[in-house]
Chain A
């Protein structure tokens, strides 16, 4: 297997982008990444794009061909593949692109992600997202996505004494980080009191415990590490890639306060990279809800099981803490255009490891991690990066 590196990155502004379409955004992110890598269209061997539900959000399927077309690559007839794993579609696109280069099948590949969610009403969007859960045996009885994570939160609170204030601290921190990220959806600080006073969605989760509905696209260019230096001053090596699956329905899981898919994907990625969790300098984890970040830092081995809430409260995951988590603002405050999220995480980690993260730069970051989850934990992807 060949070593794979990121040689170019691009990401649109995330948010309610009434003025642009899915097509505009994917072209913008793709061009940014291609220009950053300083490659020509002729050098691209393949495209992979993560997109959860073009069919429901913009009534457009066949996103693979569409992005090649929008990126001006139609006359080169480059193979282009759309992949889907709900909210982990972006992470999965990254992994497919890595496999294509690592195997020697392709030399230069683009991994992209895109979602345009605000062309439909929030009710339609919520229903489209609910399709990532078990439609027949969860949604049929009135389950919503916040409700599934709320049930994990309730049990975590009961078992480990986690408090809602500790969960709210995840939102406070990630909103603070987002204020320093120009592409973030929200440039707005929130307090624990703001979170607690925001309307209840599914007890104990309030509106400000939830990631928003967003539009956005991101893209990264991958090449084999042996040629990467030709294209980039600071290629970012991808030293570990793990993917795991679990039951679709939350109720069938071994443990309702652990995402076993995260545990297994994390172990695989750490084993491949040959490093320990404590060696990671900066991480982007899947905080679709505040409790999800607490579960993630536990399940990835950054803190002991049950200690995620306390660690967050003590500043372990804040910028300036031992392990800054979600410096981009995370899904919570940078925004969560579902198919784009996994690629945006790689974008943020690449900026951090290159030392180009501006005011939110983590000092001397050498090793970064990205963690992307599909549904309530039916899929997880973990990638480890090194400068």
Chain B
């Protein structure tokens, strides 16, 4: 596999800290950041915005058959999360398949997403965990 280091490095602020954009004209939030707002189709009103990372599970699946890179994780849960500010994201759940349901509240957790072999770089980023009662 060729290294993904350059493309990963470029998006560290988004992957580590959930930095996206907010269109002040349309009051719509975007993650990952967009260069143009699909509503007003302009870029002039976009400002950086850091998402809280809390949200709700819209749908999910348990993956038993993955690409080579993710095989060691199977079975793992992948979900589409609706962030509280509005946009939806795809991410892994840190939970057993039985512990996930549609409509469940989640919070972000900082995790290793993958490694390029034994000597290659390590990718970190955001996964999601079920929110406990107190949260």
Contact = CB atoms under 8 A, between A and B. Distances in A.
Interface of A: 123, 126-127, 130, 134, 136-144, 146-147, 150-152, 154-155, 158, 199-205, 249-252, 256
Contact of B90 (A137, A146, A202): A137
A141 B92 contact: yes
B59 A155 contact: yes
A202 B70 CA distance: 13
Interface residues of B, number: 32
13 contacts: A130-B67, A140-B113, A141-B125, A142-B63, A142-B73, A144-B66, A151-B59, A151-B61, A151-B80, A200-B62, A200-B65, A203-B62, A251-B80
B91 A201 contact: no
Contact of B63 (A202, A252, A256): A202
Given A137-B89, A141-B91, A251-B88, A155 B58 contact: yes
B70 A203 contact: no
A136 B31 CA distance: 12
Contact of A251 (B64, B68, B90, B123): B90
B64 A202 contact: yes
Interface in B14-41: 32
Contacts of A202: 61-65, 78
A81 to B, nearest CB: 29
Contacts of B97: 203
Nearest to B8: A140
Nearest to A249: B90
B97 to A, nearest CB: 7
A144 B74 CA distance: 12
B78 A136 contact: no
Contact of A136 (B7, B61, B65, B113): B7
A29 to B, nearest CB: 30
A123 B62 contact: no
Given A127-B67, A137-B89, A141-B90, A256 B125 contact: no
Given A151-B79, A202-B62, 4 more contacts: A137-B90, A143-B90, A251-B58, A251-B80
Contacts of B66: 142, 144
A147 B78 contact: yes
For B64, B90, B97, the residue with the greatest tally of chain A CB atoms inside 10 Å of its CB is B90
B89 A143 contact: no
Contact of B67 (A134, A136, A137, A144): A144
Contacts of B123: 140
B42 to A, nearest CB: 18
A123 B60 CA distance: 23
A150 B7 contact: no
A387 to B, nearest CB: 41
Contacts of B59: 151-152, 154-155, 158, 256
Given A141-B125, A142-B76, A147 B61 contact: yes
For B60, B64, B70, B97, the residue with the greatest tally of chain A CB atoms inside 10 Å of its CB is B64
Nearest to A256: B59
A125 B9 CA distance: 27
A205 B7 CA distance: 32
Q: For the complex of A and B, list the 3 residue pairs with the smallest distance between their C-beta atoms, beginning with the closest.
A: A150-B61, A251-B88, A155-B59
Nearest to B102: A158
A201 B97 CA distance: 14
B11 interface: yes
A202 B66 CA distance: 9
Nearest to B68: A123
A204 B73 CA distance: 18
Contact of B89 (A199, A200, A204, A251): A251
A139 B59 CA distance: 17
Nearest to B97: A203
Interface string B106-127: 0000000100000000010101
B60 A154 contact: yes
